[in-house]
Amino acid sequence: MFIPSYPTPHINAKPGDFADTVLMPGDPLRAKWIAETFLCNAVPVNNVRGVQGYTGSYRGSRVSVMASGMGMPSMGIYAYELFTTFGVKRILRVGSAGGISDKVAVRDLVIAQGACTNSNFMSQYHLNGTFAPIANFSLLQKAAAVCEEKGIAFAVGNLLSSDTFYNDDEDRPAYDTSVGMWGKMGVLAVEMEAAALYATAARTGREALAICTISDHLVTGEALDAAARQESFSEMIETALETALRQEDAQ
């Protein structure tokens, strides 16, 4: 039986410091921006290794935000500790992704129904097969409803959580690279954390959802400038917060 011990090696917080819902961008400075921009009365609850975490409120409901860092190993560490030690019920990843399908364009949100991966992360579970990590359906359904009501362009489908950002096949046409091959299977976009979050949530019996903004498109070469990226990220954060609020109201 897992017995919580405070603080953990990576989170210097106390019982009750985190809300039931945690938004997780990759970037610690984006966590700070979310706390200062969208939450009321946000207070810092973690800063180990510069990974900033805050707890405040959104429309009267308690919400936390903390960075995950880059990559599946980092996400796996923070998600596991938040779920098992700090009693967090749900984590919503909010981040950027690169489009690899003609079904998405820059500025669109991708609500990740599932998360494929080229990582060896799943081998730890000793399964005689391939584990397909998926989102919590209730969260996914609510996120799609929020987007529809607000008129935000979105797509629901698979992400690819990649272990690499720089690939050795980058001199080949985008549609013919190892990432591009996933696009041929209907995967919408590539990022680096969602599969670890979904697997950790499955193992711990918690809820997870990844909502990503298409900040650039690996096939068309389009990319958002700084101003457009910030505006699109705001839509993503508001969608995640509204989704979390509706989930809490329903439980």
| 48-52 own/partner pairs: CB under 8 Å, 24+ apart | 48/7, 48/10, 48/11, 48/12, 49/10, 51/10, 51/78, 52/28
Task: Tell me how far apart the alpha carbons of residues 189 and 115 are, in angstroms, rounded to a whole number.
Answer: 10
Amino acid identity for residue 241 in this structure: L
Q: Is 171 a catalytic residue?
A: no
Burial environment of residue 168 by CB neighbours within 10 A (0 to 12, 13 to 18, 19 or more): exposed
Q: Which of 169, 216, 225, 249 is catalytic?
A: 216
Task: Tell me how far apart the alpha carbons of residues 28 and 145 are, in angstroms, rounded to a whole number.
Answer: 29
Task: Using alpha carbons, select from 67, 59, 54 the residue that is nearest to residue 19.
Answer: 54
Task: Tell me how far apart the alpha carbons of residues 39 and 139 are, in angstroms, rounded to a whole number.
Answer: 20
Phi and psi dihedrals of 81, rounded to 5?
Answer: -65, -40
Task: Tell me how far apart the alpha carbons of residues 32 and 176 are, in angstroms, rounded to a whole number.
Answer: 38
Q: For residue 7, say if its preceding peptide bond is cis, omega within 30 degrees of 0.
A: yes
Amino acid identity for residue 188 in this structure: L
Beta strand pairing call for 53-58 and 40-46: antiparallel
Indicate which residues carry an active-site annotation: 216
